[in-house]
Amino acid sequence: MSDTNTDAPVLIAGAGPVGMTTALALHARGVDATILEAESEDRDRSGSRAIYVHGSTLRTLERVHPGLGKRLVDDGVVWPTRHTRWRGKQVFRRTYDSPGGDGEIPHFTSIPQEWTEEYMHEALDEAGIEIRWDSAVETVETDADGVRVETDDGREFEAEYLVGADGGGSTVRNEIGAEFEGSQSENSFIIADVDEVEEDPYPCERLFHYDDPAADGRNVMLVPFTGGWRLDIQCLPDDDPEELASDEQMREFVSAVMGERYADNVTWVSSYKFLQVMADTFVDDDRRALLAGEAAHLLAPFGARGMNSGIADADEAASAIAVALGARTEAVAHDEVELYAARREKAAEYNRDAAGQALEYLQGDHPVPVLRKEAAASLADSFEVAGEYLDDAPYGPHGTPPIVSTGNY
């Protein structure tokens, strides 16, 4: 069975936030696209996952589909307080009068990824963009004239360009011969969603607790989002993460960290060892297939660099393809795609290294970060800057981005 007569000049593999943003960004530039998604329309997307949406991402979503960014803002949470504790003792706490800034789009919003995806699906419907469900990409062939894709049900598609936004196990990445390079975290991490107790809510603040006594000396982070909380627990080296993630153990953790009223409110739990990897190239040899999001890079979540950088990839991929489609010569089209790869590879390196620095700091094996943390904790009562260091460090550096016009992600 063949579908080679599709009108869309661009195919997108993957209907996650990155794939959907790519389609919306292309539509905003007057380019049609079809999304091929391996899973069924009724797939389970539970779990808050990428809850922190940066202001730059919100502005991108608002630009590619007016109203989308503002809807995330309206339904998200902008928590006003940063709070850090050290072995049971408060070392930093700051509440902002205007935590989101004074603009219409705040510095961030905190909202479950499930909601973000729901709003993106509605935006796709409004734009008339098609998702072909149950259409797993199986083979990809490119040449100077375009790309041919076959799905696992035998259907064939032809287009001028393909964007691989099909996640960490990307078939598109494998088919174009790109390979992941990088490392994996030494420690495991447990991530859970906990529903809010509306009649007696926990303080609306982002809390990081070093060596929390309530969690038997493990690092703990709590972040509010609409309707609940993200609870992150860093496992100790000799922990069994599957045992710790059990219903009984999580009930005990949540009760100890958040209070007994939250013990029965755990709705989702997962355990991870974080990969810090990126593809050795973001484009194929013929400059017809572009990688974006987790197909191109997998990052530890510190600093919220995953979905946010993926959406930046999506917007730049759409821009490059739109220019390439209108180029008068093949050389100009190739240059535009190569520029996409150069810029986003540089950004991925920056994000990988920044998240890696935070990961190394948290894993605590190296004596230098250990001594810095101990010294800062001892000085925090007298010097606010010491407490602020402890508050900032788990999220990675805030240095100058590699490409100013792109932003940090």
Q: pLDDT of 378-391, one tens digit each?
A: 999 999 999 999 99
Task: Give dist(CA 50, CA 32) in Å, integer.
Answer: 27
Given its phi and psi angles, is residue 47 left (phi above 0), alpha (psi -120 to 50 degrees) or beta? left
The dihedral built from the CA positions of residue 307, 309, 315 and 317, taken in this order, carries a sign that is negative
Rounded (5°) CA angle 183-185-191: 135
What percent of the chain is helix, strand and coil (3-state, nearest 5)? 40, 25, 35
**pTM for this model (two decimals):** 0.94
- For the chain, what percent of residues have pLDDT higher than 90? 80
Q: What angle do CA 308, 150, 141 make, to 5 degrees?
A: 80
pLDDT in tens, 235-247: 998 999 999 999 9
| Whole-number pLDDT of residue 1 | 37
User: What confidence score (pLDDT) does residue 400 get?
Assistant: 55
80: tokens are 């006003």
**In the predicted structure, residue 140 carries a pLDDT above the cut 80:** yes
Question: What is the reported pLDDT for 187?
Answer: 86
Average pLDDT over residues 2-30: 89
The label of the residue with tokens 């460090």 reads 393
pLDDT at 401: 56
Assess contact for 51 and 111: CB atoms under 8 A. yes
Collect all residues with Cβ–Cβ distance below 8 Å to 362 and sequence separation of at least 6. Answer: 187, 219, 234, 302, 394
How much is the pLDDT for 184?
Answer: 87
Q: What is the mean pLDDT of residues 49-73?
A: 95
With beta carbons less than 8 A apart as the criterion, state whether 221 and 232 touch. Answer: yes
- Per-residue pLDDT reduced to its tens digit, 258-303: 999 999 999 999 998 888 999 999 999 999 999 999 999 999 888 8
- The pLDDT, as a whole number, for residue 404 is 47
